[in-house]
Structure 1
Amino acid sequence: MTTAENILSPRSPVPVAKPPRRAARPASTPLEKTARPAFAVWWSGLAAALAWLALGVLTYIWPNKPAGFNDWTYTSEFAGLALGVAAVLLVLGLAPGATAAVTSRARPAGPWLIVLAAGLALWEILTAKLGLLPPPFFAPPQSLIEVYVSDWPRLLDSASNSLQLLAIGVALGSLTGFLVGVLIGWSRRASYWIHPVLRVLGPLPTTALLPISFYFFPSSWSTAVFLIALGTGFPVAILTWSGVAGVNRNFYDVARTLGASPWFLVLRVAIPAALPQVFVGLFMGLGHAFATLVVAEMLGVKSGLGWYLTWAQGWASYPNMYGALLLMALLFSGIITLLFLLRDRVLSWQKGTVKW
């Protein structure tokens, strides 16, 4: 074969032109990095600062309307507090780079801070400035400052007693409900006897059992603990049972193939898979526990925030009622927040698979 035939032979590889390489993108120089803006102005924070500034100026300049014997003290202190909040928001809005840690957390709350200032201003105008809402049933915002300054020992003692009663009742109820839920979710025989009882007694409000419970328990405090535990235990038991019963059977088959014992199946397969449902039951149980706590303290227990509400109503001290309600809301929402943090910590291994 000649040289020309060898060149034209199909066996000989045909040279393919390679595409030109793209020029490598030059790395950004330090000058380019510094040219980028380090932070952006927090505009909603500036709007919130303006709203709180308007609230402070309105409260301080506009005189209060006389309403009988009511003299709304701490008006100037409330105005100073609003102006202080406006100053803090102004600093965070104009210098978010210097306060990045605080601004990043406060940035999502910008619209709510505006609405809160507007709501307080409307409250102030309708009560202290125009007197459209009749006293003493409706008191202005500065009356809450007076309550917290003058009556903080009684409020603190009531809050601690309520938290103690709530902690004992919720702990007993959640533990009992969890064990019952695992039992009826794992054992068909236990489910046959216990599940109908839960279906009949579960929807019954725990506060309806208050008169009967007073007869069987020696004190109102133990009655309140029982009712709080009962209200917490039913949702936890139902949701735990649902979580254990809904575990994929393939998980059990794989574990049995590897030689798992029944206790291992319960502790390491059923319970971890049911934990999301358990936390949903805890959230629902806490709602029942809060309602039961307040009713029990109003009707029988001689301490706590529910008792404080009844005491303030008896003396027609409505600002004290509002102060107790605000403290109650903050405490209960804080407990829910702590439960969310605990759930995220316990279920960190399920992150991305569980939707809330």
Structure 2
Amino acid sequence: MQMSSPEAVFDRPARLLPPLWTQGVIAAGAWLASAAITQYWPDGSRLWPYSQLWAECHAGIALLLLILSLTFRQWSLHLPRLKYAGAWLIALPVLLSVWQLLTAKLLILPVPFFAPPQALIQVFHDDWPRLFDSLYHSLSLLLSGVVLGTLAGFIAGLAIGWSPRVGYWMHPLLRILGPLPATALLPLCFFLFPTSHDASVFLIALATWFPVTVLTWSGVAAIDTSWYDVARTLGGNSRFLILRVAIPAALPSVFVGLFMGLGASFSVLIVAEMVGVKSGIGFYLQWAQGWAAYPNMYAALLLMALLCSGLISLLFLVRNRVLRWQKGTMKW
């Protein structure tokens, strides 16, 4: 199956396009089949709530895809990304149907360790205040640590890359403390800091600080010295060289460090919340596991995945805005 890129736009007139979106028709059939499995295949051990709503949602998606398939010529030139997603629109209901069969229908994956997708709807409906309170606290804790770690890492990396004297003293410390997992310092941090929140912020900042420092340092050290010579010839002082030459030239490496630091901070966040705080996604996961509330655990994992993906996507938008000349060189 050959798919065009989402940015590709057809040059031929709309009348030459096929009258029907074949992938859309297949996808509509797949979503309708998934709705039928949920609605008419008997549940294995118990009747799961919200099965009717789950089936109706799938049937509604099938109807929408069928309408889009019949009006393909009207929207194809304007919504190329939707056409590009055709294969996923087919695969997604197949995967959901397999999930439904393995859990609710055939009981191959047993309760309570596994649950069908509609069980997650019940969790979001019944326990949304606690879930979103946990999400708020996790986001607050994560952003506090990431911002502090990013600022400290950027300043440290810039100082090491710019000044050989600073590099002489900082480089050994960086090599010793940097590779050390932040979570290994949990007992020490909870002893040194007055609250578990402060200790968690420090651990997240530490996990972010190392990659940002190393990549900022590498970006500054890799700048061609001729750029500095040209700036000095034009009358630039040290402040001008740092603000107008070193920092802009190192920004691509800085953003790579930010991506790496953000990924590391998520792992530290979950571990820190499981140990030291009373609200957050990590705390919620531990609570759900302790009470064998596995649907709640899966709902929290889904929420965490959406949070991680959303923050990384937002960081990519910022990067593409700041580094306009490099837009499209990194994909997410």
TM-score if structure 2 supplies the norm length?
A: 0.91
Distance 1:96 1:258 in 2: 59
Task: Tell whether the 8 Å contact from 2:228 to 2:241 is kept in structure 1 after alignment.
Answer: yes
Map 1:282-297; keep pairs closer than 5 Å: 282-297=258-273
Cα RMSD after superposing both structures: 1.9
When residues 203 and 35 of structure 1 are mapped into structure 2, their CA distance, relative to the original with a 3 A threshold, is closer
1:355 deviates by 5.6
Which letter maps to 1:53? L
Is 1:117 aligned to residue 96 of structure 2?
A: no
Deviation at 1:93, TM superposition (A): 2.7
Instruction: For 1:240, give the aligned amino acid.
Output: T
Instruction: Write the distance in 2 (CA, Å) between the matches of 1:167 and 1:138.
Output: 32
CA 1:223–1:313 in 2, change beyond 3 Å: closer, same or farther?
A: same
Give the conservation status (yes or no) of the 8 Å contact 2:220–2:246.
Answer: yes
User: Which residue of the other structure, out of 221, 237, 257, is the alignment partner of 2:233?
Assistant: 257
Q: Which has the larger radius of gyration?
A: 1
Structure 1, residues 54-92: CA drift from partner, whole Å, max 9, x if none? 1111111111011xxx54111111111111122222222
Q: 2:132 aligns with which of 134, 156, 162?
A: 156
* 1:257-336 matches, cutoff 5 A: 257-336=233-312
Change in CA separation of 1:101 and 1:198 when aligned onto 2, cut-off 3 Å = farther
Q: Point out the more displaced range, 42-51 or 117-126.
A: 42-51
Task: From the superposition, tell whether residues 106 and 254 of structure 1 become closer, same or farther in structure 2 (CA, over 3 Å).
Answer: same
Instruction: Give the aligned partner of residue 186 of structure 1.
Output: 162
Please identify, of 34-43 and 84-93, the stretch whose mean Cα deviation from structure 2 is larger: 34-43
Q: Is 1:344 matched up with 2:320?
A: yes
Deviation at 1:242, TM superposition (A): 0.2
Contact 1:143-1:319 within 8 A present in 2 as well:
yes
C-alpha distance in structure 2 between counterparts of 1:102 and 1:53, whole Å? 26
Letter in 1 for 2:103: T
Q: Does residue 105 in structure 1 map to residue 81 in structure 2?
A: yes
Task: Give the aligned partner of residue 24 of structure 2.
Answer: 45
Q: What corresponds to 2:49 in structure 1?
A: 73
**For the Cα contact (< 8 Å) 2:204–2:269, is it kept in 1?**
yes
Give 1:91's aligned amino acid: I
Say whether the 8 Å CA contact 1:92–1:103 is kept in structure 2: no
Q: Corresponding residue for 1:61?
A: 40
Q: Secondary structure at the match of 2:61?
A: helix
Instruction: State yes or no: 1:213 paired with 2:189.
Output: yes
Q: Return the match for 1:93 from 61, 69, 87.
A: 69
What one-letter code is carried by the residue in structure 2 that aligns with 1:204? L
Give the corresponding residue for 1:22: none
Asked if structure 2 preserves the Cα contact closer than 8 Å seen for 1:96 and 1:103, the reply is no
| In 2, Cα distance between equivalents of 1:257 and 1:81 | 67
Q: 1:350 to 1:137 in 2, by over 3 A?
A: closer
What is the CA-CA distance between 1:349 and the residue it aligns to?
A: 3.2
Report how far residue 149 of structure 1 moved. Answer: 0.7
The correspondence for 1:135, drawn from 83, 86, 111, is 111
- CA spacing shift, 1:35–1:56, aligned 2, 3 Å: closer
Determine helix, strand or coil for the equivalent of 1:180.
Answer: helix
Amino acid at match of 1:56: A
Distance in 2 separating the partners of 1:206 and 1:98: 54
Report if aligned partners of 2:207, 2:268 keep a CA contact under 8 Å in 1: yes
TM-score by length of 1: 0.85
SS at match of 2:16: coil
Amino acid at match of 1:196: P
Q: Against the structure 1 CA distance between its residues 259 and 301, is the aligned structure 2 distance closer, same or farther, given a 3 Å change threshold? A: same
Counterpart of 1:225 in structure 2 is 201
Aligned to 1:12: none
Amino acid at match of 1:51: A
* Secondary structure in structure 2 of the residue aligned to 1:247: coil
Q: How far does residue 41 in structure 1 lie from its aligned partner after superposition? A: 4.0
**Could you tell me the percent identity over the aligned residues?**
58
C-alpha separation in 2, matches of 1:37 and 1:48: 23
CA distance in 2, matches of 1:351, 1:75: 44
- Residue matched to 1:84: 60
Amino acid paired to 2:260: M
Compute the displacement of 1:37 (Å). Answer: 3.2
CA deviations on 1:164-197 (whole Å, 9 max, x unpaired) are 1111111111011001110000000111111121
Q: For 1:56 and 1:85, how far apart are their aligned partners in 2?
A: 10
In 2, Cα distance between the equivalents of 1:97 and 1:306?
A: 48
Match of 1:177 in 2: 153
